[in-house]
Structure 1
Amino acid sequence: MTLTIAGNETGTPRSPWSGSAGAEELTRWKTAARQAAGGLATDALARDRANQDPYREVELLRRHGLVNLLVPREYGGEGAHWESALHVVRILAAADGSIAQLVAYHYINQATIAFYAAPARQADWFRRSAEGQWVWGGSVNPVDPTLELSVDGDGYRLNGLKRFSTGSSVGDVIIVNAAVTDGPHEGTVLAFVLERGREGLELLGDWDHLGQRLSASGSVRYNNVRVDAADILGEVGDEPFSTLVTPGIQLAFGNFYLGVAQGALAKGREILLGRKNAWILSSAESYAKDPVFQRTVGEFASRIAAVEALADVLNRRYDDAVAKGAGLTFEDRAELAVRTAELKVVSTEVGVEVANRIFEVTGSSSTSNQVGLDLFWRNIRTHSLHDPVDYKKIEVGASYLLGEVQPITLYT
């Protein structure tokens, strides 16, 4: 079987994105995200407890135009930039971490059209995705390499199990990464797209974790699933532009964790302002007027503001990087990856700490299951373990001290 690998063509622009988001665009999508977040916030705790696949939530995202946000206008999409998309992730995370994760993965999975597909094929993929308002799930977890992609005539057959397949149970399509196990392309890792109802594709619905319960992150089993040439986006290689997948998703994580911290602090402020009287040893009129609690809230707000400032810089810088397309160098990519790792470090630590210590200012009554303040902590504690933050610290330190660059992977 002959494959067309993305980037083999010469003289063809690789990236469908250019420029950066203006004030009007940012305002539009922040407003849409806040409206969607408002709808999610009304029953976030009840939906988390019900632990059902988020089909209604996906329809909410469609109604607000968020699904096609990054698809270029010429292909039927909204033509927005990554800075806008990352703000959407952040805003949704303050209301519902599960749906923020679902959206973040959708954006990066959908963007693999540009990162992996040959330029001549991108238009068709984008058009079909836009017309169908496809939500993109992913089955690419690289530390779970149990898939076998074997040659079958002019196509392949896929077998095996892939865990942590975020969005797969509600996605219209699922992007899969698998290495070819035989034939002339043996060892080549291919990215391909399967519709959720493809024969032999089994959704196990086995996500049973502390948090992120509505992220649709269960396992997928592939039982002799047919993969045709038309399903294949391209090869997963180490060409700089195509590997922007990793800084992109890590940047989305940073915005996600920031949003959770903002949401936890906002909920804590609401609870604190509602507390009557003050601690028995305090001379303040109320808890909110007590310097002890003001100090803690001030610390949280200040650290969140610092993370936000870094995230805002990097969100725009990512647009600059993707706009370079085939002109992106390894040096460009490495510099962006290290800066994104810096964000991952501080957003993780601030997010986990705020979501944990917010209880110090809200009191024992806020631990009631009816309050649901724990939802923020459960969500960020669960997802922040996606990849060890200590290795991000090492990545930053090795770069700072020695100028060393980590090998390109789906984590670095």
Structure 2
Amino acid sequence: MPSSDPFVIGSGLPVPPPVWPRTMPTVRIESDIQAIQIAQDFAHHLKQNAAERERSARFPLDELNRYSASGLWGITVPRAYGGAGVSYATLGTVVQTIAAADGALAQIAQNHWAAVAVIASCGTPEQQKELFSLILDGKRCGNAFSERGNKKLTDLSTHLVPQGDHVLINGKKYYCTGALAADLVPIVAVDKDGVAWLAIADRDTDGLTVLNDWSAFGQRQTGSGTVLLDNVKVPLTRVLPAWKAYIPESPRPDSAISQFIQAAIDGGIAQGALEETVFFVKNRTRPWIDSNQDNAHEDPYTRHILGGLFARLSACRALLDVAGKKIDAALTHPTPETVASAQVSVAEAKIFTTELAIDATNRLFELAGTASTDTRYNFDRYWRNARTHTLHDPIRWKYAIVGNYYLNGTAPPLHAWS
């Protein structure tokens, strides 16, 4: 029987916008070190009830409020506007840390940080001042980007039409991670010439409806539902020329930033699964009969497999760190060469984090044994989350991009999925 509670996952009901101001004040983070420490503390809190929360049928609004109040959502706001302006290597560490505890919560913030990057790269000083101030005060950005039914991902049917001091937007968006509980909803829409703009609407704008209809088997608590746009009015002061980041002669690393955060989420999910594997093998798993060992953690084959997985996890972290530094370099000196280098480094990291996330979440059961499949542990959430999230963009194309870059000197394509 359908639920009458809009916050029940998959209810299909419209969700009211969040109440503002929220009861918890937002922390102003001032440094990279502080950001990492707060992320570690929050991840520890998340892990205490992650399995029960993921099993729950309700959207994790309380945890989300605590997450955004931590100040982590504002750490990439430039120092000139009052933010910490942390490096992207630091952001990667923060994202991995949160995702190791809860992959869904980590993903909810992904599009927020991507929106901050667009504001920084394409916004006017006046737009940056207004929007960054709202973000530092604790306002959350959601996402209204993707569509269904179009021949290509980049073919958008959501249109904006100028009307005096504002634009009117009509369309329908899917996979709108974060929009359900957002304060601001960045909408990608095209003008009459097919040029893409980012219009940042208030969540409570008339005609903007968010449906809680996400029904995937993984990342269930991301609330990645549908956004309906019926003559949504957005002031021109909130409309940003997102297309400017993708000019071949003067690109910005916006796409690399979006992909980088996706890769860090996958790396974090892998880390969380490996931590569960170690704990279970050491405390619950029985040694295999032919091992002639008293404890499962003494099994030489188990040690061999886990050694390989942890070595790959270290490689993922290193690749993400390199990719974060390449993004920082491209932001400091944006050229076709620095942006392409950042994209390729992110693609390399994405390959490794995707493959490790799927392998590590599968090996958890192989190494921990039959007891680990008991539903009370809810370990399958790691595999379900990894398998669902890694579908965001196929790594078979990442291999091709990397190979073409080194073999033929061909820069990756300039779009949000590369």
In 1, Cα distance between equivalents of 2:256 and 2:235: 29
Give the length in aligned residue pairs: 381
Q: CA deviation at 1:216?
A: 2.2
In 2, Cα distance between the equivalents of 1:29 and 1:200?
37
Amino acid at match of 2:287: A
Residue type of the partner of 1:193?
Answer: I
Task: Tell me the percent identity.
Answer: 31
1:257-294 CA deviation, whole Å, 9 max, x = no partner? 11111110000100000136522222111111111211
Letter paired with 1:260: I
1:239 and 2:247 matched: yes
Q: Normalising by the residue count of structure 2, what TM-score does the alignment of the two structures yield?
A: 0.86
Residue in 1 that maps onto 2:225: 218
Alignment of 1:76-91 (within 5 A): 76-91=82-97
| Paired amino acid for 1:107 | W
- Match among 208, 214, 219 for residue 207 of structure 1: 214
Cα distance, 1:211 vs structure 2:
0.8
Aligned 8 A contact 2:285 2:369 in 1: no
Distance 1:51 1:231 in 2: 35
Q: Which moved more, 1:245-254 or 1:261-270?
A: 245-254
Structure 2 match to 1:269: 278
Q: Report if aligned partners of 1:243, 1:408 keep a CA contact under 8 Å in 2.
A: no
Distance 1:63 1:159 in 2: 32
Q: Which runs of 5+ in 2 are unaligned?
A: 1-29, 148-152
2:169 aligned with 1:163, yes or no? no
Report the counterpart of residue 289 of structure 2 in structure 1.
Answer: 280
**Equivalent residue, structure 1, for 2:140:** 135
Q: Cα distance 1:342–1:196, how it changes in 2: closer, same or farther (>3 A)?
A: same
**Residue 173 (1) aligns with residue 208 (2):** no
**Partner secondary structure for residue 284 of structure 1:** coil
RMSD: 1.9
Q: Which residue of 1 aligns with 2:21?
A: none
Q: Which residue of 1 aligns with 2:162?
A: 151
After TM superposition, the runs of 4+ consecutive aligned structure 1 residues lying more than 6 A away are: none
Indicate the SS of the match to 1:214.
helix
CA contact (8 A) 2:326 2:341 kept: no
Letter in 1 for 2:190: A
Structure 1 unaligned segments of length 5 or more: list them.
1-23
Counterpart check, 1:349 vs 2:355: yes
Normalised to the residue count of structure 1, the TM-score between the two structures is 0.88
Deviation string 1:50-102 (CA, Å, 9 cap, x unpaired) is: 24233212221134221221223443333433222221100001000001111
Q: State the distance in 2 between where 1:52 and 1:146 align.
A: 32
Structure 2 matches for 1:2-81, cutoff 5 A?
A: 25-81=31-87
More divergent stretch after superposition (225-234 vs 168-177) = 225-234
Amino acid of the residue matched to residue 114 of structure 1? A
Written as runs of structure 1 = structure 2, the 5 A alignment for 1:336-375 is 336-375=342-381
CA deviations 1:207-257 (Å, max 9, x no partner) are 110111111211100011112212212242323676411100111122111
Question: Is residue 2:305 matched to residue 1:299?
Answer: no
Superposed displacement of residue 120, structure 1: 4.3
CA deviations over 1:147-174 (Å, ceiling 9, x no partner): 1223334432111100011100111101
Alignment-derived partner of residue 13 in structure 2: none
Please tell me the residue identity of whatever aligns with 1:57.
E
Q: Which of 205, 209, 212 is the equivalent residue of 1:198? A: 205
